[in-house]
Amino acid sequence: MPRNPWFETVAEAQRRAKKRLPYMVYGALLAGSERGRTAHGNTAAFAELGFAPHVAGHHANRDLSTTVLGVETSMPVLISPTGVQAVDPDGEVAVARAAANRGVIMGLSSFASKPIEEVAAANPNVFFQMYWSGDRDTMVRRMDRARAAGAKALIATLDWSFSNGRDWGSPVIPERIDLKTAVKLAPGVLPHPGWLWRFAKTKRIPDLTAPNLASADGSVPTFFGAYGEWMQTPPPTWEDVAWLRKEWGGPFMLKGVTRVDDARKAVDAGVTAISVSNHGGNNLDTTPATIRVLPSIAEAVGDQVEVLLDGGIRRGGDVAKALALGARAVLIGRAYLWGLAANGQAGVENVLDILRGGLDSAVLGLGRAGVHELSADDLVVPPGFRLTLGGSDAPGDPAS
């Protein structure tokens, strides 16, 4: 454990997470699929975009705040729902506290290790994420519970497909951790006493259950039990999406859109927001980087629904680039998971501070008074960078 727990970049948080966590746990956070092209491409694409800063006329005070689905946020960065926060004993509650301390919205996965009631108590600005899993009655019951707990929006993630293995190997995640499993896992875990100590202090073991997917009788499925339910559920149609949206009633985000035609269908289904997302490259490998497909989607539907982006955000400058290309806000996944693994709640706050600092610096250098002023004029976009999937190229698209 480094003496100073503060880190200055997300890359350093990742290095510390790698060192601190048993390899299989780190592997679960790294995720990705097959060759890892999409996961890598999401981050690499941001480096291809340049800034076009001004030399004078900068603003002394800059406004980074905005709203997402009617909820205020101190900056246009949300916690994206992820299902493996049991890497820390406080898991999603630690992340929710960090997000609340920094004034940002918490997206909570239905595969989370903590109940939504505890998470909403730590951060009232919670968006609950659901997959299309189980029958309609079950989904209605889950939505009722999330609503009663105070969730302010529903995120429907529909882009998850069956994982096809990773060339660098997938972590072995046990069904549950009992004495027999603990003995089996010991050789990989014992060389990481700092991580073990974090759990030992709380007298808890990593929780591999999904309490937000409890049945009507209150029994809580294991992570794999929940996964099994999702695998056995026939995939949704657009009519199902419209049904889900109507049943929820409140603000509704569809996560996983990469095509213009899908974005238009999402509008027709009545959604209030979409996230341009490829699940952080954990699905169909070789799907293009989300930042490349964002502009055409924002141009097609940005005046009808809120358009967000997730995938590859590691710096505040990346946030500025996504906003300049049409996103209202972004969601982050691995960045805060690495912060959580590196230093618990403080590590997540550290990551949010890094993103805020980098975003503010970009807004300053670009001569803008706030995030709402960012535009494509602030960027250097290489020819052929933008891609339009599932539709004719939008007007003004250099790729057209």
Query: Footprint of ligand FMN on this chain (CB under 6 A)?
Result: 29, 31, 42, 80-84, 109, 111, 129, 157, 255, 277, 279-280, 282, 310-313, 332-335
Residue 150 CB, nearest approach to ligand FMN (Å): 20
Task: Tokens 């493996």: give the residue.
Answer: 84
Ramachandran sector of residue 165 (left: φ over 0; alpha: ψ -120 to 50; beta: rest): left
In angstroms, rounded to a whole number, what is the distance separating the alpha carbons of residues 27 and 8?
23
In angstroms, rounded to a whole number, what is the distance separating the alpha carbons of residues 113 and 123?
16
Q: Which is nearer to ligand FMN, 116 or 335 (CB)?
A: 335
Annotated active-site residue in 40, 54, 192, 279 = 279
In angstroms, rounded to a whole number, what is the distance separating the alpha carbons of residues 142 and 115?
12
Backbone angles phi, psi at 301, to 5 degrees: -130, 0
Residue 159 CB, nearest approach to ligand FMN (Å): 8
Q: Which is nearer to ligand FMN, 159 or 349 (CB)?
A: 159
Residue 204 CB, nearest approach to ligand FMN (Å): 20
54 is catalytic: no
Residue 309 CB, nearest approach to ligand FMN (Å): 9
Backbone angles phi, psi at 148, to 5 degrees: -65, -30
Residue 302 CB, nearest approach to ligand FMN (Å): 20
Q: Which is nearer to ligand FMN, 111 or 385 (CB)?
A: 111
Residue type (1 letter), 189 = V
**Distance of CA 64 to CAs 50, 67, 103, 108, Å?**
20, 10, 11, 23
Q: Which residue is nearest to ligand FMN (CB)?
A: 333
Please name the residue ranges forming H helices in 150-289: 179-189, 193-202, 223-232, 238-248, 260-268
CA-nearest of 166, 160, 163 to 40 is: 166
Beta-ladder partners of 78: 331
Each residue of 41-61: b (16+ CB within 10 Å) or e?
Answer: bbbebbeebeeeeeeeeeeee
Residue 67 CB, nearest approach to ligand FMN (Å): 20
Residues assigned a catalytic role: 279
